[in-house]
Each structure stands twice: as structure tokens, then as C-alpha cells.
Amino acid sequence: MLNRNRSAVAYTPVRLIASATKRLPTVWLLLIATLYILLGLFDRAPWKTDDVIGLATMLSALNEGHIAWLIPHIGSTTLTQNGPLPMWVGAAFMWMLEPLISHIAAARVAVIFWFAVMLWALWYGTYLLGRRNEGQPLALPFGGEPTPRAYGRLLADVSALFLMATVGVLLRLHETSEAPTLMAIQALILLGAIRMLDKPFQGSILIGAALGGAFLTRGLPATLPLVIGLIIVLLPRKPMNGRKKWVVWSVSLGFAISVAWLYLAQQADPAWADEWWHWNSSLLGLGGVHDIFRPLRDLPWFIWPTWPLALMAAWNWRRTLTAPHIWLPLSFFIAQLIGLALTSNPGELDYVSLAIPSAMLAAFAVPTMRRGMINTLDWFALMCFSVTTTCVWVGWFTQQTGFPAGIAHNIARQTVGYEPVIVWPAVAMGAVVSGVWLLTMRWRLVFQPTALWRGALLCATGITATWALLVLLWLPTVDYVRSYQPMSAAIHQALLKESTQAGQLPCVRALGVSEGVRASIYVFDNLTFSYSSECKLILQQTTIQRLLDRAAGFEDNATVIWLGSRGADRFDRYRLLKLNP
């Protein structure tokens, strides 16, 4: 049983009245979450690079079967990075939904699954912490403070809204990559640590499964920060007093899951296992000066706007820093930063897990903020997202009209060869979205609500409105810039012309072709590359400069039967070559 005796609380920076924790209607939270994840997920081509690679591994497991279920493949070629968990879930949804929707759409249902798990684990974990005695508001002399249940629900709603308002994860949460899986696992391990406070067995099972899932998603780079987080959690006498044996049990369970899969993979393909370990070791270690300071440049925008509030929470609760509601998310926040320092070339897939503990900490900062600071958060959200929505419209108008010329030139330079089109139903829906944002602004300015979730709601609504406008107005352009589908279709047609049997593609090898291109060609046209020296056709990836310098090779012993690139690519070129007899 949780201790409800508020008089036992030694210190709390929170002073609230019940009206400040007025309940956010559940339908609002669900509506924002639904629009957030659905917009931009369907009705588009797979994008380069992680999006289409993840999709290719799922399709390969479904089409190739056997070892492709155990080890990630792109067609018949093994993929010596990451792990099989996102592939398993995506392929399972493909198999279950095959009669109803396309494979690509079914794979994106898996993204919705991971998003739902992540949001539930974050919401419920924050709710459990918010109900604990250590984080309750100060008891008022004549009563009127919020109940633990209402206070916990307020914090849970705010954490979920802040997660959706996090700038850097927006695009990553709409990809069929390992990013949604990694974020869900971080939320689950935090929930497991919170559950361990009151139900050690349940919490340890959840932590162990999450550790195994992290290893099966991205190997050591994903697992090491979680283990470091568990060690940091145990450093003070509290809050995990008497829970060390359960943490050891959790780590043992995660280790057993990891070793079981790795043993099967080693037995199935020893060469792949060796390459996979080489990939893990290449990611771990101290990088150069540029790699060390890159997160300092990238993280401030990637986990905006939660990181300033997360730091504020740690400062405002500094006198009770080891209380569970601060120490648990802070431990995993610090652990992820340590993980970045131990990564030789950190990138966005290493940043995404920071969004979960940052959002949870940010929620506990909100009740400690003075009224002026809370109003500042509101005004920031109103101004920031009014600017972003306006910029989306201005950019679209410029693309269609060519005015102003400077902006139009920059857009054209990034979309070489693209012919703008106006989709009037999408424009009408964009106007509706803008109208909803204006109504949201009016709600805040006219009615002046007092509930503490209003700032987080404005941030989540603002970024959702901006994303909706980007999807409605710019999706054709983004598809042109980020998808290899037209290029894949052109290669497919060129191969059909070289075919000796109707409908059957000839054998083709790949030379210098990146994994993203291999995955795209497999997803769009089911083309796999061969390693046979008997293949007389070669798909080569090179650059414009190498072609101009006649340094791309095959100048005398091959005939170019197709030359092209992704529409907006200003540097790379692809050639389909036929070796001369």
C-alpha cells in the first residue's frame, strides 16, 4: 500500500489547489494522440533510409521465411546491423492483416502498436509516481489541495502531451524503423522500475523483458544505457532499498533472452554473427572531438521543449532528489547521456530514448512553476507554433507561385525536377487544421483556463497542427525528395527490356549500392541482387563528379543501358551496366 500520510512529507515545492488539477477530458488526449500518429503514417511512399530498410526486413521475413525470421535480411542478403524484434512485430502484422490491407500499410500498423505501448507505459508510470506520497503537494491549512489520484492523473496527462510535443521524435515516430521500438522499450523499463517499488516481481519481469527487447532491437548500443540506468537507480539507499536482488534477476532475465537469440543466430549463420559483433563494437567507444560535441549541438533542439523543464524539475526538487518521482527518470536520463558519450558516432537513434525520461521529468516540473513561468510556457507555445504553421503556408504559397524569389530558389534547389501540384482537398483540410489552431489560441486567450495541463496541451496541439499542415501541403514534395520509388520503377522497366523470358527479371549484381537503395528496390519491385559472377548486369552507384572525371569505371568493358537517380539527388547517380562479351 502507498503511504497517503502527507504530513510525513519532509519537503515539497508544490503548492496547489484542486482546481489546478482539473481533469483533462480523455477524449482530447486520445484525439491528439490519434491525429499525431496517423497523419503522415499512411498514404505515402517509404522514405529513405531507416524507414525503408525496416520495411524491407519485415517483407523479407514474410517472403523469404526460414532464416530471414531469425536474422534481418533485405531480400536474400543479410543485414548485419540491429536486431529482429521490430522485424518480428512488423512481419506479424503483415501476416495477420494480409487479406485486408497492403503489406506496407500493415507494417505501419506495427508503428501504431509501439506508439500505443510507449504512450501507455509513460502515462501509467507517471501516474503511479504522481500518486506516491513523496511528490504530493503541500497540505493546505484549511484543505482544498488535490487528491493523489487527481494529481497523478494531471502529471500523467502532461507527460504524454510533452512527449508528443518533443520536436526531434516527430519524424522518427512515423517510420518503420527501430526508433518507435526503442522508445517503447525505454518507457517499459521505466515503468518496470516504478512498478518494482511496490510489486518487485512484476517490475523485475517487465525490466528483464525490456532489456532483452533492447538487445534484440539494437544490440549493445541500446542495452548498455539501460543497464547503466539500473545501476544509477541503486546508488542511493532509497528508493530501491531491498530491491537489488530483483534488479539482478531482471538483468539475468534480459541476458538470457539476448543469449538465446544470439546463440540461434550464431548456429544459423556464424559469418553474420561475427559481422554483427563487429558492428556493435564499432559503435561503442569514444569518438573524436566532433563526435563528442555533436550531441551538445543536436540535443537542445531534438528534445525541445522538455529538457529545460527536466532540468528545472531536478533543481526544484533538489532537496528530495532521491525521491522516486525524480530519481528514477533522472537516472535513466543521465544513463542515456552516458551512453551517448560511449558511442563513437551518435545519431538520432541514440537520442530518441532521451525523450521518455525527459518528458516524465518535465511533468514534475510543471506543478513547481510559478504562475508567471507557466504563462510564459503558454505564450511560447502560442507564438512558436503560430510561426511554424504560418511558415508552412508561406513555403507552400512560394512553391506554387515562385514569390518571393529568394525562398522559391532555395525550395527549387532542394527539389530539382519536381513540378508542384495543388491538391485542393488537402488545401481545404489544411485550412480546417489552421482554423482549429486559431480556436485553440482563442480558448487560451479568452477563457484563460487555470488547469496546469494547458501549456502541455498547447505544445502538443501546436506541433500536431504543424505536422498536419506539412503532411497535407507538402507530402507530394517530400515523397519526391525522400523516396526511391520512381527510380526503382525505372530500373525495373530497364531490366524487363533485358529479360529473355517474359515477366522474369534477369540476374543483376550490385556495386557500391547503399542499403537504403537495396531496400527500396526490394520493397517497390521485389528485386534482389545476386553475387554470382555469371550475372552480366550490374547496378552501380556512383557520383556525377566521378562520371565527369571518367573515374567511375567500366568505360571500355560495359554498355550503359540506364542512367538515373532519385529525383532530387544532386550528387549520386546510378547506372545499369551490361558487361560486354
pLDDT at 10: 57
Question: What are 352-366's pLDDT values in tens digits?
Answer: 999 999 999 999 999
Structure letter (DSSP) for residue 304 = T
Closest CA to 506 of 530, 533, 489, 523: 530
Closest CA to 426 of 478, 502, 379: 478
In the numeric block, the cell 477530458 is attached to: 25
What pTM did the predictor assign? 0.95
Report whether pLDDT(574) > 60: yes
Cβ-contact 223, 258 below 8 angstroms: yes
Per-chain mean pLDDT for the chain: 93
Question: What are 403-462's pLDDT values in tens digits?
Answer: 999 999 999 999 988 999 899 999 999 999 999 999 999 999 999 999 999 999 999 999
Question: What are 214-232's pLDDT values in tens digits?
Answer: 999 999 999 999 999 999 9
pLDDT at 295: 86
Which of 110-124, 177-191, 520-534 shows the lowest per-residue confidence on average (mean pLDDT)? 520-534
pLDDT at 5: 47
In DSSP terms, which residues pair with 540 in a beta bridge?
511, 575
pLDDT at 272: 95
Q: Could you give the angle at the alpha carbon of 335 between the alpha carbons of 286 and 231, nearest 5°? A: 115
Question: What are 121-134's pLDDT values in tens digits?
Answer: 999 999 999 999 99
pLDDT confidence tier of residue 241, bands split at 50, 70 and 90: confident
Cβ-contact 145, 17 below 8 angstroms: yes
Cβ-contact 116, 141 below 8 angstroms: no
CB atoms within 10 A of CB 252: 13
State how far the Cα of 166 lies from the Cα of 304, in Å rounded to an integer: 6
pLDDT at 287: 65
pLDDT at 528: 92
Question: What are 497-511's pLDDT values in tens digits?
Answer: 988 776 688 999 999
pLDDT at 516: 94
Cβ-contact 579, 558 below 8 angstroms: yes
Cβ-contact 189, 332 below 8 angstroms: yes
In the numeric block, the cell 520495411 is attached to: 55
Report whether pLDDT(556) > 90: no
Which of 30-34, 234-238, 429-433 shows the lowest per-residue confidence on average (mean pLDDT)? 234-238
Which of 65-69, 236-240, 495-499 shows the lowest per-residue confidence on average (mean pLDDT)? 236-240
pLDDT at 8: 44
In the numeric block, the cell 551517448 is attached to: 340
What contacts 176, CB < 8 A, 6 or more positions away? 46, 51, 52, 54, 55, 58, 86, 90, 107, 108, 110, 111
Question: What are 503-553's pLDDT values in tens digits?
Answer: 688 999 999 999 999 999 999 999 999 988 889 999 999 999 999 999 998
In DSSP terms, which residues pair with 560 in a beta bridge?
577
Question: What are 3-29's pLDDT values in tens digits?
Answer: 444 444 457 899 999 989 999 999 999
pLDDT at 4: 44
pLDDT at 289: 67
Cβ-contact 540, 78 below 8 angstroms: no
Domain borders along the chain are 46-368, 371-482, 485-579
Chain CA centroid to CA 7, Å: 42
What contacts 182, CB < 8 A, 6 or more positions away? 214, 217, 218, 222, 349, 352, 353
State how far the Cα of 214 lies from the Cα of 335, in Å rounded to an integer: 15
Structure letter (DSSP) for residue 338 = H
Query: What is the DSSP pairing of strand 572-579 with strand 537-543?
Result: antiparallel
pLDDT at 288: 66
pLDDT at 81: 87
Question: What are 298-341's pLDDT values in tens digits?
Answer: 999 999 999 999 999 999 999 999 999 999 999 999 999 999 98
Q: Cα dihedral sign for 493, 497, 503, 504?
A: negative
pLDDT confidence tier of residue 292, bands split at 50, 70 and 90: confident
Residue range 376-388: mean pLDDT, rounded: 95
